Structure formats: C-alpha cells, structure tokens
Amino acid sequence: MYELIKDLGSWLTSGAQWSGSDGIAHRLVEHLQYSLLATLIAAVIALPVGLLIGHTGRGAFLAINLSSFGRALPTVGLVVLVFLASGLSMTPVYVALVALAIPSIVTNTYAGMSAVDPEVRDAARGQGMRGHQVLLQVEVPLAMPLIVTGLRLALIQVVATATIAAYVSFGGLGRYVFDGLAQRDLVQVLGGAVLVAVVAVVLDLALAGLQRVLFSNRPA
C-alpha cells in the first residue's frame, strides 16, 4: 500500500505528467469544458420548466416525476445508446450529462418557487404587478438560494460523471481511468479517480463559499 501511495504521488507530481495533449492540465480543461457546457445546456432547459411550474403550480407532478426518471437513467447505457445512434461525436456524452443535470435543477427551482410565501405574492399583485413582474421581481429573487443550490448540485454531479467521455474514446480526466484499466496500470486508474474527486470537492467548496457570500446577508 505504501508503495502504491508513493507511486501515485510521483505520478501526480511529475512535470511530464502535466504537459502535452495527454497531460493532466489538458485533460482537466477538457473535463471542465464538458461539465460546464452540459450544465449550461441543462440549465437552459430546466430553469424555465422549474420556474413555470413553480409560478403556475401546474404540471408539477409530471415534471418532478420526469426529473426523477432522468435521474434513474443508467448514464453509461444512455451514452452507448446515443453513440450507436449518432455515430462518432460528443453528442452521446452531452446527452447523458444533460439528462443527469436536469433533475436537480428542476426540483430545486420548483422547491425554491414553492417556498415563496403566498402572502408575498398576493401583496405584489395588490400593488399592481402583473404575472411576469411577480415572477421576475418577487419570486425569482426569493427562490434564488435554492435555485443556485440546484445548479451547484447539478454541476458537481456532472463533474463526477464526466469521466464517461473517455468511455467512447474522448478526453477528460476519465481518460486516465479507462486507459489505466486497459493497460492494467493501477496507479493511472487511481490518479484519474483522485483528480476527479479533488476537482469535484474543490468546485463544491468554492461554490458553497460563493453561495454563502451572496446570500448570507439576505433578510429572512
């Protein structure tokens, strides 16, 4: 075990391991690119759905159950299915990652909107605000902490799962895991797993800290 940890430390700190197209720096950029783009696409799809059902109260049962179904989909199986249908492209990876991110964003957005005090809504309408004004000026600001939590959870889930890009021969930190398994190189497998875990933890801590800064002084 000591030798394995020593070899892992050498692998992670080697200058050669951080340079070139197969280096950690390049793979990290690829991994973050996949993760951020997939989360952005998921947000564009899921935020309007969560806001709509939270504002109107309609379609909540269907939307939440569809989100739960998306969470239950086997990610690797979905990648393979879309890969066989679409051919050699990044489409399967993005489809799977977007499907993974949508449930957290929809459910948290809906929860945030549902938590808005109905009396606050009524007061806004009593002041002459129309539906879209109540949504954008009252409900969304009050729901924002939970909405941001949903985005944060979605991003962390995607970062942890983006290793699947390597399953269909693309890049990212998962490349070390799959290549290591193919080569029976345990150090490389562990290195890839450690890197993914560290990136996920660092991002989670950074986003949690940012969330506290943004919302800690909000009135109760």
Which has the higher per-residue pLDDT, 57 or 18?
18
Spell out the alpha helix ranges (H) of the chain.
2-13, 24-56, 60-72, 75-86, 91-114, 118-126, 131-134, 140-161, 174-183, 186-215
Q: Say how many C-beta atoms besides its own lie within 10 A of residue 11's C-beta.
A: 18
Where exactly are the structural domains of the chain? Answer: 2-215
Average pLDDT over residues 15-41: 91
Residue 120's pLDDT is 84
pLDDT of residue 213: 85
Q: What are phi and psi of 74, to 5 degrees?
A: -70, 115
User: What would the pLDDT profile of 149-168 be if each residue is shown by its tens digit?
Assistant: 999 999 998 998 888 888 77
Closest by alpha carbon to 134, among 195, 50, 56? 56
Residue 71 has pLDDT above 70, yes or no: no
Q: How far apart are the first and last CA of the chain?
A: 51
Fold that domain 2-215 belongs to in CATH: MetI-like fold (1.10.3720)
Do 211 and 193 form a contact (C-beta atoms < 8 A)?
Answer: no
pLDDT at position 41, please? 95
- In sequence order, the 6+-apart residues with CB closer than 8 A to the CB of 182 are none
Q: Residue 219: which of 136, 113, 142, 107 has the closest Cα? A: 142
Q: Structure pTM? A: 0.85
Look at phi and psi of residue 33 and say left if phi exceeds 0, alpha if psi is from -120 to 50, else beta. alpha
The whole-angstrom separation of Cα 26 and Cα 33 is 11
